[in-house]
Amino acid sequence: MPLLITHEEVQQAVTMADAIDAMEAGFLEEGEGHCILPQRINMPHSKGWIRVGPVAMEKSGWMGFKAMNLTKGAGVRYQVHLYSIETGELLAIMDAQHLTTLRTGATSAVATRRLARPGKAVTALLGSGPEARAQLHAMQAGGFVSEAKVFSPTAANREQLARDFAEEYGMTITPVASAEEACEGAELILAAVKSSEPVIDGAWLTPGSHVNSVGTARRDQRELDVETFRRADRIVVDTREGVFGEAGDAVAAADIVAEDTVSELHELVAGKAGSRAKESEITLFKSVGSGIQDIAIAAVIYQRALAAGLGTDLGEFPYLKKNKK
């Protein structure tokens, strides 16, 4: 019987540490060749757009899709439908806003584990929304942060974020007045900004630094300038198709970066591609999201919700049209 799992129940079901474990497992399964991941569909319409991304994870036995849609003046809605490959049953329909935020942060942690220099780093956070917060939560869960600076255009937002993280983690975190000030001396840069113009100048990057960029998933958005791509010694993406087809900053750097020189994260996790080779390398992870991430964490949410008695049982849904013998 499928479960309907609300936003609040998703929040109860899993932690960032759970999400990081799920991303490690999901990317390993993809890297071992057990996943079917077609290109997701992006369809604009007169009032906004809708995006649908299906995936099948043959080894672990899950399949499904995430649908998200934006309506101008209203906002974005997310949902995941999770199925069993073995039986074809619909197992859950769940709100996917928190799911998406969690898996994006957790994916950056998986990349940082392999691309950043070992140890805790002076960290720059660009952005103050849910995605930016998730990036810093994930870095804390992974043990990658020594201290941090945060920039967001609205002073009250960056100050509130700094207070929240100082209180939760007892960390040193300073709100600053510009992106350049945040990046000055930073060894780890986290960018989660919705912007039509670049917020990171590649000239700011110091040798040995690592950048996670997760804020741009549309062609009209740019988070990184072309110089950032030029200076990166090693570039890793979640999917080449997604990043170079959807992210405006990656599209703008198409003449600088040849797609066949870029690794996908699942290749690193499965040991099929190299990570950081030298202390002085500048590394970049660019992510727009994929169905692997959505379904890998959705499966964990479903299992935790089932065990905790969360969710609403939808009964015999949907109707099964049986095959004739």
Q: What is the pLDDT along the chain (325 residues), one digit of tens a residue?
A: 899 999 999 999 999 999 999 999 999 999 999 999 999 999 999 999 999 999 999 999 999 999 999 999 999 999 999 999 999 999 999 999 999 999 999 999 999 999 999 999 999 999 999 999 999 999 999 999 999 999 999 999 999 999 999 999 999 999 999 999 999 999 999 999 988 899 999 999 999 999 999 988 888 889 999 999 999 999 999 999 999 999 999 999 989 998 889 999 999 999 999 999 999 999 999 999 999 999 999 999 999 999 999 999 999 999 999 887 6
Query: How many other CB atoms sit within 10 Å of the CB of residue 126?
Result: 27
pLDDT number for residue 12: 98
pLDDT number for residue 134: 97
pLDDT number for residue 154: 96
pLDDT number for residue 259: 83
Residue 226 contacts residue 202 (beta carbons within 8 Å): yes
DSSP 8-state class, residue 224: B
Range of the domain at 66: 3-100+291-313
pLDDT number for residue 153: 95
- Whether 319 maps to a domain, the answer reads no
Domain co-membership, 173 together with 254: yes
Domain co-membership, 90 together with 169: no
- Whether 157 maps to a domain, the answer reads yes
Query: How many other CB atoms sit within 10 Å of the CB of residue 310?
Result: 18
pLDDT number for residue 219: 86
Residue 179 contacts residue 225 (beta carbons within 8 Å): no
SS3 content of the chain, % helix, strand, coil (to 5): 40, 25, 35
Residue 169 contacts residue 143 (beta carbons within 8 Å): no
- Whether 323 maps to a domain, the answer reads no
Domain co-membership, 169 together with 261: yes
Count of structural domains, the chain? 2
Domain co-membership, 94 together with 149: no
pLDDT number for residue 309: 97
* pTM for the model: 0.95
Residue 92 contacts residue 185 (beta carbons within 8 Å): no
| CATH number (domain holding residue 73) | 3.30.1780.10
Domain co-membership, 274 together with 299: no
- Whether 105 maps to a domain, the answer reads no
